[in-house]
């Protein structure tokens, strides 16, 4: 009995520093943020904020830029999740076959993830602005040569997805590799003997066994795509302008970028905080929902 | 032994985690009494002059015994946000920087006005609100239509005739017809893309606010802040914007960043550049050596013989500082002493805002600005920083981009600008 009590003491003692930091840096500012979103806070020292109730929230939903940003973020997230998971799964299959230099490929695919988003954005900006036109010149395709990828809203979004996929696919690939290596080879061999082709083997054996990996990867890609900031700022800075409901909006201004602009560019801190709270709520609902549904489909071995 | 080691480790961890919260600065600078031994902190936003300012602060310390600590943040680490964080720390800066009415409105409860300082009579660019002087001008900056002197000569265009929209149109057409001869991609290096929103929404739009008006005339700005647009001026202004966009290189215009735009002008691929004298250090780095000068913007109809001159930022005093005398001494020293002049002109290549400075900067655009400053009525006012926060770069800049892409025509451009101004009511 004393041993158990002792163990619990050690448990909490070890947890204390990290737990305290978490409360001070994450939990407390979160609740302060909820309070500030109901005031007209400007973050200047010494000025007391006044309580304004749900003003900020009402204003937010009538803001066309916020609505547009919302839609674009959902679109970007949806396409990114598909793109990253598809590429990652493809790469994972390639590197789990017995090919020469598979370790080299594993490292190679993973490295873009180590480059920070800002540098990545600049690299791809260079590729889209200089390399693509040059390529067009070499191949003699004038349309490609004159193409201003970052000036067209749709193409800029696609460019962003390409850059983001390049960054993230390697990391997700690692998770799939681990899951694929856990699929028992005997099952696959038995199925092959029974005459199953590649697609049937994948659908009936491999796919259900790596469902657990899908939970993790869809969660990671979903949450990360939703929160993207630095690669957007570096590549398109919010993006080419476009028309939406007769308003001119920024076509790649995702929610995180939008909230940052509202808070710091327009110096409307309380409004930015209110939008951030909504952002948090939506993201929580989506990610928890997603994990719940995926967990139900997992197959335990 | 094992138990002892693990106990020791836990204690170390706990103490280490608590040590981080110990704060407690010793340099609170609460000395009163003689100025010597006082310490002031200046928090400024020009990253490129941090070293020079620190060296100057050392000189000041040797002369007076007052220690000046220079803290800087800017560029990728945005000054405005870091400033708010600095105020939450327990050593607030004594001098910090604001850039115009926007900064003033945010910080007005913390500003201490100057009264009858020596430097006030030496400049006309100090920051005044309600008759009280709040800001010490850091430097003079200006923008206009920068041009390549040799190239215009080669094209047979006389820069002194570039004073109206008609004259510019004729000159642009002439230079455009000689594009191959001159080896340029487009007449003007103009940028309107997402990276360059400050060029269109702030600088170019300032033409609507103050071109052709007397220095210090804020009627158009006041109307804007009340949600009223001057339609005549706006229509004339749209003609100027259209002219610039027509003769710009599409790639630089729509997707170019700062280096692309300056690069086009620096590599002699354009005759004009829509930028200011802050580009001098970048051109020096690029190894650009040709002579360049400013011509006026013809933002609205009529004759123009001035460029947009102003102070981009001001040193202001923290009214809760306990070292205000030391601060005033430091600023007077910078404005009146030779060491200060040397620092401002020779070391940092800024154009000083004070009339008692006899040195002139060496870089071509800054030297030209000094000429315009000394010209009678050679200045239009900088009013772009007195618009509401985010209006220039966030609200109206995307409209320029759509216009540049051809998504909206000139009438729609005017309409959109008018609507955005009226939303400010």
Average pLDDT rounded to a whole number, residues B4-11: 86
Q: Does A3 touch chain B (CB under 8 A)?
A: no
Say whether both B109 and B152 belong to one domain. no
Rounded to two decimals, what is the model's pTM?
0.81
pLDDT surpassing 70 at residue B339:
yes
Based on the domain organization, do B67 and B164 belong to the same domain?
A: no
Answer whether residue B198 is part of any domain: yes
What is the pLDDT, as a whole number, of residue B31? 38
Answer for the pair B210, B381: CB distance below 8 angstroms, yes or no: yes
Q: How confident is residue B34, by pLDDT bands cut at 50, 70 and 90?
A: very low
Give the mean model confidence (pLDDT) for residues B180-194: 92
**Contact status of B281 with chain A (Cβ, < 8 Å):** no
Q: Note whether B8 contacts A: Cβ–Cβ < 8 A.
A: no
Q: Tell me whether residue B46 is in a domain.
A: yes
Mean pLDDT, residues A172-194 taken together: 88
Mean pLDDT comparison of A77-81, A231-235, A236-240, highest-scoring range: A77-81
Same domain flag for B78 and B170: no
Q: pLDDT-derived band of residue A272, with 50, 70 and 90 as boundaries?
A: very high
Do B131 and B168 fall within a single domain? no
Q: List chain B residues with CB under 8 Å of A151.
A: 193, 254-255, 405
Among all residues of chain A, which has the CA nearest to that of B318? A45
Mean pLDDT along residues A268-292: 92
**Touching check for B121 and chain A: CB below 8 Å?**
no
B3 in reach of chain A (CB within 8 A): no
- Comparing alpha-carbon positions, the chain B residue that sits nearest to A19 is B17
Check pLDDT > 60 for residue A194.
yes
Residue B1 lies in a domain: no
Give the residue on A whose Cα is nearest the Cα of B420: A247
- Provide the pLDDT for residue B110: 87
Name residues 373-402 of chain B within 8 A of A (Cβ). 389-390, 393-394, 398-399, 401-402
State how far residue B130 is from chain A, nearest Cα, in angstroms: 22
Kindly tell me if the per-residue pLDDT of B52 is higher than 50: yes
The reply to whether B334 falls in a domain is yes
B283 and B319 in a single domain? The answer is no
- For residue B25, the model assigns a pLDDT of 39
3-state secondary structure of B366: helix
pLDDT at B322: 87
Of B92, B255, B399, the CB nearest to A151: B255
Helix (H, G, I), strand (E, B) or coil at B206: helix
Q: Which residues of B touch A45 (CB under 8 A)?
A: 84, 87-88, 92, 110
CA distance B199 to B261: 11
Q: Which long-range contacts (CB under 8 A, 24 or more apart) does B122-130 make?
A: B122/B335, B122/B336, B122/B354, B122/B355, B122/B356, B123/B335, B123/B353, B123/B354, B123/B355, B125/B310, B125/B311, B125/B353, B126/B314, B127/B98, B127/B311, B127/B314, B127/B316, B129/B101, B129/B104
Which of A65, A122, A241 best probes binding to B when mutated, by most B CB atoms within 10 angstroms? A241
CATH of the domain at B71: 3.40.190.10
Subunit contact B255:A241, Cβ cutoff 8 A: no
Q: Which comes out higher in pLDDT, residue A201 or B18? A: A201
Residues of B in contact with A245 (CB under 8 A): none
Give yes or no: residues B108 and B242 share one domain: no
Specify the pLDDT at position B266: 93
Q: Is the CB of A44 inside 8 Å of chain B's CB atoms?
A: yes
A14 CB neighbours in chain B (<8 A) are 10
- pLDDT for position A208: 80
Q: Taking CB atoms and an 8 Å cutoff, what residues of chain B touch A156?
A: none
Residue A285 predicted with pLDDT over 90: yes
Question: To the nearest whole angstrom, how far is the Cα of A117 from the nearest Cα of chain B?
Answer: 14
Q: Would you call A45 and B80 a contact, using CB atoms and an 8 Å cutoff?
A: no
SS3 A11: helix
B31 part of contact set with chain A, CB < 8 Å? no
Set of chain A residues whose Cβ sits within 8 Å of the Cβ of B251: 129, 148
Q: How confident is the model at residue A106 (pLDDT cuts 50, 70, 90)?
A: confident
For residue B23, pLDDT beyond 60: no
- Per-residue pLDDT band at A301 (split at 50, 70, 90): very low
Kindly list the residues from chain A whose CB atom is less than 8 angstroms away from the CB atom of residue B402: 241-243, 248
Are B98 and B57 members of one domain?
Answer: yes
Please indicate, yes or no, if residue B259 is contained in any of the structural domains.
yes
What is the structure's pLDDT at B316?
92
Q: Which pLDDT value is given to residue B77? A: 66
Using one digit for the tens of pLDDT, what is the confidence trace for B67-82?
999 998 876 667 877 8
* pLDDT at residue number B226: 92
Stretch 266-285 of chain A: residues touching chain B, C-beta under 8 Å: 266-268
Question: Residue B415: CA atoms inside 13 Å, Cβ hemisphere, count?
Answer: 9
Q: What is the pLDDT of residue A217?
A: 92
Report the 10 Å Cβ neighbour count for B111.
20
B199 and B242 fall within a common domain: yes
- Whether residue B352 is found in the same domain as residue B259: no
Q: Is the pLDDT of residue B231 over 90?
A: yes
Candidates B255, B257, B416; nearest CB to A148? B255
- For B342-383, what is each residue's pLDDT tens digit? 888 888 878 888 878 888 888 899 989 988 888 888 889 999
CB-nearest to A266 from B109, B254, B390 is: B390
DSSP state of A38: T
Instruction: Provide the pLDDT confidence category of residue B143 given band limits of 50, 70 and 90.
Output: very high
Residue A10 has pLDDT above 60, yes or no: yes
Domain residues for B292? 142-309+377-422
Q: What is the ipTM of this complex?
A: 0.80
Residue B323 in domain: yes
A:B CB pairs within 8 Å: 93
Residue the block writes with tokens 């809760």: B320
pLDDT for B29 equals: 38
**Mean pLDDT lowest among A12-21, A155-164, B12-21, B295-304:** B12-21
Best mutation target, B5, B76, B194, B416, to test chain A (most A CBs within 10 A): B194
Give the whole-angstrom CA distance, residue A153 versus residue A148.
Answer: 11
Which CATH number is A54-297 given?
1.10.3720.10
- Interchain CB distance below 8 Å, A240 and B10: no
- B394–A265 CB contact, under 8 Å: yes
Q: How many domains does chain B fold into?
A: 2
Are B163 and B274 members of one domain? Answer: yes
User: Which pLDDT belongs to residue B24?
Assistant: 41
B105 lies in the same domain as B201 = no
């Amino acid at each position: 009995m004393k041993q158990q009590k002792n163990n619990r003491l050690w448990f909490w003692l070890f947890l204390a520093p990290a737990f305290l930091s978490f409360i001070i840096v994450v939990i407390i500012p979160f609740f302060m943020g909820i309070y500030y979103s109901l005031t007209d806070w400007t973050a200047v020292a010494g000025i007391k904020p006044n309580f304004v109730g749900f003003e900020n929230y009402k204003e937010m939903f009538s803001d066309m830029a916020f609505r547009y940003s919302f839609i674009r973020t959902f679109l970007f997230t949806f396409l990114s999740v598909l793109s990253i998971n598809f590429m990652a799964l493809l790469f994972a299959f390639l590197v789990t076959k017995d090919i020469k230099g598979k370790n080299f490929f594993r490292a190679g695919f993973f490295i873009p993830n180590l480059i920070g988003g800002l540098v990545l954005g600049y690299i791809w900006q260079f590729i889209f602005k200089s390399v693509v036109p040059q390529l067009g010149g070499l191949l003699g395709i004038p349309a490609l040569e004159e193409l201003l990828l970052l000036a067209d809203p749709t193409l800029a979004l696609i460019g962003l997805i390409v850059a983001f996929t390049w960054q993230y696919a390697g990391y997700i690939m690692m998770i799939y590799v681990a899951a694929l290596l856990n699929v028992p080879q005997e099952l696959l061999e038995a199925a092959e003997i029974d005459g199953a082709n590649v697609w049937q083997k994948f659908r009936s054996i491999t796919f259900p066994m790596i469902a657990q990996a899908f939970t993790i990867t869809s969660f990671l890609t979903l949450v990360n795509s939703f929160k993207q900031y630095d690669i957007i700022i570096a590549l398109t800075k919010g993006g080419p302008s476009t028309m939406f409901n007769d308003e001119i909006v920024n076509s790649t201004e995702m929610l995180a970028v939008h909230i940052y602009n509202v808070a710091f560019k327009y110096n409307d801190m309380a409004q930015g905080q209110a939008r951030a709270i909504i952002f948090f709520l939506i993201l929580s609902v989506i990610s928890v929902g997603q994990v719940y549904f995926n967990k139900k489909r997992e197959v335990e071995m | 032994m094992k138990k002892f080691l693990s106990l020791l480790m836990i204690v170390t961890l706990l103490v280490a985690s608590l040590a981080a919260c110990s704060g407690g600065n010793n340099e609170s600078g609460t000395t009163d009494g003689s100025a010597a031994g006082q310490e002031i902190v200046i928090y400024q936003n020009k990253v490129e002059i941090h070293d020079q300012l620190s060296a100057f602060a050392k000189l000041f310390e040797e002369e007076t015994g007052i220690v000046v600590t220079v803290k800087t943040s800017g560029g990728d680490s945005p000054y405005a946000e870091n400033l708010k964080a600095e105020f939450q720390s327990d050593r607030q800066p004594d001098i910090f920087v604001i850039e115009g009415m926007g900064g003033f409105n945010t910080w007005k409860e913390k500003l201490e006005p100057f009264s009858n300082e020596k430097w006030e009579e030496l400049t006309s660019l100090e920051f005044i609100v309600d008759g009280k002087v709040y800001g010490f001008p850091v430097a003079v900056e200006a923008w206009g239509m920068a041009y390549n002197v040799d190239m215009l000569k080669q094209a047979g265009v006389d820069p002194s005739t570039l004073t109206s929209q008609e004259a510019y149109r004729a000159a642009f057409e002439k230079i455009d017809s000689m594009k191959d001869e001159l080896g340029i991609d487009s007449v003007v290096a103009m940028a309107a893309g997402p990276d360059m929103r400050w060029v269109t929404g702030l600088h170019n739009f300032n033409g609507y606010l103050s071109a052709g008006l007397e220095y210090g005339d804020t009627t158009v700005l006041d109307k804007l802040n009340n949600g009223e647009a001057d339609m005549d001026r706006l229509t004339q202004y749209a003609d100027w914007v259209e002219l610039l966009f027509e003769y710009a290189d599409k790639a630089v215009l729509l997707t170019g960043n700062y280096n692309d735009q300056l690069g086009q002008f620096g590599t002699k691929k354009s005759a004009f550049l829509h930028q200011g004298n802050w580009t001098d250090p970048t051109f020096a780095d690029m190894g650009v050596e040709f002579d360049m000068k400013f011509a006026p913007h013809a933002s609205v109809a009529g004759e123009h013989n001035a460029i947009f001159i102003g102070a981009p930022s001001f040193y202001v005093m923290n009214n809760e500082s306990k070292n205000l005398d030391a601060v005033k001494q430091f600023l007077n020293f910078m404005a009146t002493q030779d060491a200060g002049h040397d620092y401002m002109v020779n070391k940092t290549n800024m154009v000083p805002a004070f009339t008692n400075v006899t040195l002139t900067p060496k870089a071509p655009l800054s030297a030209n600005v000094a000429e315009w400053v000394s010209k009678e009525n050679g200045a239009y006012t900088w009013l772009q920083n007195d618009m509401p926060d985010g209006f220039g770069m966030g609200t109206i800049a995307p409209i320029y981009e759509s216009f540049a892409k051809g998504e909206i025509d000139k009438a729609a451009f005017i309409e959109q600008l008018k609507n955005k101004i009226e939303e400010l009511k």
